[in-house]
Amino acid sequence: MEILIKNANIINAGFTKSADILCKNGKILEIGKDLIPQSENAKIIYAEGNYVFPGGIDPHVHMHLPTPAGYSADDFESGSKAALRGGTTTIIDFVTPKKGQILQDAIKERKEEAKNRVIDCYFHVSPIEWRDTMEQEIAQCIKDGYKSFKVYMAYKESIGLNDDVLLKVMKAVAKYGGMVTLHCEMGDKIEEARNQLYAENKRSPKYHSLSRPAKWEAQAVKRAIELAEQAHCPIYIVHVSAKESLYHIEEAQKKGQKVIAETCPQYLLLDDSIYEEDFETAANYVMSPPLRKKEDQEALWSAIKSGVVTTIGTDHCPFTKEQKALGKDDFRKIPNGTGGVEQRLNLIYKHGVLENRITLQEYVAITSTNAAKTFGLFPQKGQIAVGSEADLIIWNPGSEETISSKTHHMNCNLNINEGFTRKDSAELVMLAGRVVLENGKLTAETLRR
């Protein structure tokens, strides 16, 4: 199938250009003025008045995640459809093995679970323990193209790692040329604080937040950086939420250490005052790390502008109101996580670009290009260039709507961005040269994957 996009206002991370884009066999064949399609039945799309961006890449989602409260509410099908509607054409999810399970077996299982997705999907792999064969398993993953290894410094009772195991993982990953991505929170201190608060009869959602203070995120970030330096291992710190964490990240970057940082829309736009609300509201915002203060938001925006934070993921992990209600009498039982994969691009466009915090080119960099570069998908993805995959969004900057759980497409009856307005929309989305969303509807092509 040949598709010609006429009069595209192309926005890449490095440059903008007005031109036509000719796509064929899944790739961008030509970019230039007054292009003519090669075949008679080529589809012509007129893009004047809209921007054309590379498809969004969300480097941090948890579809169909098993938890004590049941699976997270979006499976790969519903979650990837919601992502697509928001202009995201690639997600990176996680392979989390069961105790004792070989990484290769866990990858096989997870790929099976992800089969019903409608967009491109890659995985980070999580070593949750150490064993004699782990170094070889990590080496095999890297050989097979799985180069990013996610470790948790929180959740010590289930998947979290102690520092000695963390160091072993980092050394093995560094030896074979991979990267470690980290959830940084001081797990032991948090566990103690949670249990102490519960024992004192402090059981509402705000104690989730109070048991996970910014200083313990920052301490974990500092520790992770120290261990990575010892192991000579590149690291990527997920969902940075606290100003104090940024200080350690920036110091390490200044010294030349490979430390990459991600944040999420919720940490840029929401704050911890929400935890003072009643259970039905506050529980919806229970996530780890929790929401922080307004000054942390401003620090995160500055860190994006200065290049200390280079990617925006969503940590998409929605739970329904009914699942959240399982923690009515015990904040420790409220499932951690919120949804956002559908609104990432809208929120960052409105609050980043339209509020003059970032330029359009920086917007493309943090929502697509930098993730592609960080996770080995560039130059196939993350840019509009000859030879790259034709993953494109035609972005209408003048389409306004209020975000609501009643109209969103995520499989969840709540939305932490309820009431936010968006000023734009992905009017048409192409994935690998096929139109997969047009006029707000998924096309037959979407489902033919």
Smallest distance from Zn ion to CB 71, Å: 15
Q: Which is nearer to ligand URP, 146 or 319 (CB)?
A: 319
Q: Which is nearer to Zn ion, 20 or 315 (CB)?
A: 315
Shortest CB 112 distance to Zn ion, Å: 21
CA 443 to CA 86: how far, in whole Å? 15
| Interface with ligand URP (CB under 6 A), residue from 86, 337, 340, 382 | 337
317 binds ligand URP (CB under 6 A): yes
Question: 344 vs 350, which CB is nearer to Zn ion?
Answer: 344
The residue from 24, 117, 147, 183 that contacts ligand URP (CB under 6 A) is: 183
Residue of 194, 260, 175, 248 whose CA lies nearest to 217: 248
In whole angstroms, the minimum distance from the beta carbon of 341 to ligand URP comes to 12
Query: Residue-wise over 262-273: b if at least 16 C-beta within 10 A, else e?
Result: bbbbbbbbbbbe
Q: 195 phi and psi, to 5 degrees? A: -70, -35
Q: Which is nearer to ligand URP, 107 or 153 (CB)?
A: 153
Least gap, CB of 323 to ligand URP (angstroms):
12
Among 62, 124, 222, 434, binds ligand URP (CB under 6 A): 62
Integer Cα distance of 145 and 320 in angstroms: 34
Q: Work out whether 299 is an interface residue with ligand URP (CB under 6 A).
A: no
Q: Establish whether the linkage from the previous residue to 289 is cis, with ω within 30° of 0.
A: yes
| Separation CA 302–CA 422 (nearest Å) | 22
The encoded tokens of residue 117 equal: 């997705």
For 56, list phi and psi in degrees, rounded to 5: -70, 145
**Angle, nearest 10°, between helix axes 163-175 and 214-231?**
40
Q: Distance between CA 312 and CA 300 in Å, rounded?
A: 11
> Cα-atom radius of gyration of the chain, to the nearest Å?
21
The residue (of 24 and 62) whose beta carbon lies closer to Zn ion is 62
CB of residue 193 to ligand URP, shortest distance in Å: 16
Pick from ligand URP, Zn ion, none: which does 431 bind, CB < 5 to 8 A by kind?
none
Near Zn ion in 396-415, by CB under 5 A = none
Residue 408 touches ligand URP, criterion: CB under 6 A? no
3-class SS of residue 416: coil
> Does the protein bind ligand URP through residue 313 (CB under 6 A)?
no
Return the number of the residue (22 or 125) whose C-beta is nearest ligand URP.
125
Q: Which residue has the CB atom at the shortest distance from Zn ion?
A: 315
Edge-first strand listing for the sheet containing 259-263: 56-58, 88-95, 120-125, 148-152, 179-183, 235-237, 259-263, 309-312
- In the bound state with ligand URP, the residue whose beta carbon lies nearer, of 260 and 353, is 260
- 315 binds ligand URP, rule: CB under 6 A: yes
Q: What is the footprint of Zn ion within residues 306-325 (CB under 5 A)?
A: 315
Q: Which run of H or E residues covers position 54?
A: strand 51-54
Given ligand URP, Zn ion, none, residue 24, with its beta carbon under 5 to 8 Å by kind, binds none
State the number of binding residues for ligand URP (CB under 6 A). Answer: 8
Write the interaction track for ligand URP spanning residues 352-391; mark x where CB under 6 A is met and - where it is not.
----------------------------------------
Q: How far is residue 308's CA from residue 259's CA, in Å, rounded to a whole number?
A: 9
List C-alpha distances in Å: 376 to 54, 105, 341. Answer: 16, 23, 21
Binding site for ligand URP (CB under 6 A): 62, 183, 287-288, 315, 317, 336-337
Binding site for Zn ion (CB under 5 A): 315
